[in-house]
A and B are shown apart, each in its own frame.
Chain A
Amino acid sequence: MADRVIDVRGLRKSYEDVEAVAGIDLHVDRGEVFALLGPNGAGKTTTTEILEGFRPRSAGEVAVLGHDPANADRSLKEQIGIVLQSTGVDPFLTVHETIDLYAGYYPHQRATDEVIDVVGLTEKRDARVAKLSGGQQRRLDVAIALAGDPELLFLDEPTTGFDPSARRNAWEIVKNLVSIGKTVFLTTHFMDEAQYLADRVAVIAKGSIVSEGTPDTIAGRDRMQATVRFRLPDGAPAPPDLGQIAAGDRAWIVRTDDPTRTAHEVTAWALAGGFSLEGFEVTQPSLEDVYLELTGGEEGPG
């Protein structure tokens, strides 16, 4: 068996008569980025907070780094870093002081200035926390979680509110952590984030895991029909029968099990006719397409 950092079997959590988590199994191996995806209210946050030790469970077995998080062992907390969705810091401390404060709780501390550098807050080192922008405060959250040099990092929607370049930077931070052997448990509602970062993803809906796999193969994504899109130039004849679904004026969409063959047929026909196709593209279903199908498209990811 691989080195299991998180091992969950038959996890259940009921609030009064509502079953928020209805018996899930999942595991995360060392050095892996695992993403838990699901709509709001699907049981994602409940599951994450049970793993982090904030919430007791109703039934099932949970091991995080070999500890039961329900026991709130100090030695477990010394090995994990948590970025929650909404946790504040004292507004009157500076960035440096804040990270310093939290680092002091851990036996293996990273140098504060190094952590500040990792999250790109060097220029704000001596600024009061109250003066940071939303994105900068989020980076501070990540910095605080890194201050104790954790083996396992929980990231609950870490890039919400980031601009595109800040998201890229955050992703690089996570990639760097994984490259030095850390393990990341991620929840996100950005499918491109899961696609880019995660080694494995699981989709949770209505308290149960409905699918699990790599971002590229989850729910048979790699075996789904590809889509070929193109537009015909003025005066071009209709293309041969490719099982196409016409969409709009001269735009064509073709679904195919064999994109290589279909693309070849389309381009060969166009070259033979002596015209070029506009906006020609071949796409596999995205993780988002798969996700929406698995979760019934309700509410949108969250």
Chain B
Amino acid sequence: MSTVGLVLRQVRFTNKTFWRNPASAFFTFVFPLLFLVIFTTLLGNDEETIGAVTIRTSTYYVASMAAFGLISACYTNIAIQMIFARENGVLKRTKGTPLPAWSYLGARVLHASLVGFLLVAITVAFGVIAYGASFPTGVDLFRFVVTLIVGAGCFAAIGLAVTGFVPNADAGPPIVNAIILPLLFLSGVFIATGNDAPAWVTWTGRIFPVKHLVDALRDSFLGLPSFSWMDVVVMALWLVIGVVVAAKTFRWEPGR
């Protein structure tokens, strides 16, 4: 079988197991929509003016929840799934087969990205239908899609890299969440960080990739002129860092 065929076949099996685990699939898909409803309900769906552009609150949150969904699917899911697969020996068994390691990991990343894209599509569709959010077109759509692809790779790579620092499955969810939750809050996913935020908050946003994903998705989705390719470049850098760290620290066997 060709290498591409091998990866796609692996994606198919990964997909089968993903949907047969209802708890995991349910929470991955329900959380972003639930948050979208909560924020729009709490904060109203009024029109707001950001710079020269007037938008609805829901449009603002659709982009934020798309970012949240992509991070859940790519970073959180990959990290936790791989930690469990390592703990119960699936990874070790796979290592003993002729399947090249990168095919297995590549299939995981590809599957997580596809789940992330589907999640973004559902969130956007929900926002458009339920709240009348506007859908980007032309160059904005192009920017939105490139941001999604680079963002998926970036957060999947970080998810793989994190697993090397988690000793066992019990420690998995707490560590994985402890890394991402503060970043989500400090990066304006749930609450916009204003210009008067303390310097350390601003710098946290500049250094880590979460705010770059949120900004790039939001600016492209809203068609704001503030869209910057620098956001995408920073995520690409984090993608490289994630791959390098994962290559050095990824373990195929459970901890002892």
Contacts and interface: CB of A to CB of B under 8 A. Distances in A.
Interface of A: 52-54, 74-75, 77-78, 80, 82, 84, 86-90, 92-93, 97, 101-102, 104-106, 144, 148
Given A53-B96, A74-B100, A105-B98, A84 B89 contact: yes
Contacts of A88: 85, 88-90, 93
B89 A54 contact: no
B145 to A, nearest CB: 31
A92 B98 contact: no
A15 to B, nearest CB: 11
A87 B1 contact: no
A105 B100 CA distance: 9
Given A104-B9, A144-B93, A90 B17 contact: yes
A98 to B, nearest CB: 9
B96 A77 contact: yes
Nearest to A107: B98
Interface residues of B, number: 21
7 contacts: A74-B98, A74-B100, A82-B96, A88-B85, A93-B20, A97-B13, A106-B97
Given A74-B98, A77-B98, A104-B9, A84 B16 contact: no
A78 B20 contact: no
Interface of B: 1, 6, 9, 13, 16-17, 20-21, 85, 88-90, 92-93, 95-100, 253
Contacts of A52: 96
B51 to A, nearest CB: 48
Contact of B16 (A54, A82, A92, A106): A92
Nearest to A141: B93
A87 B86 CA distance: 9
A52 B99 CA distance: 15
Contact of A87 (B6, B13, B92, B100): B92
Contacts of A102: 97
Contacts of B85: 88
Contacts of A89: 90, 93
B98 A106 contact: yes
Contacts of A84: 89, 92-93, 96
A86 B89 contact: yes
Given A54-B95, A89-B90, A90-B90, 8 more contacts: A77-B97, A82-B93, A88-B90, A89-B93, A90-B17, A92-B20, A106-B97, A106-B98
B90 A87 contact: yes
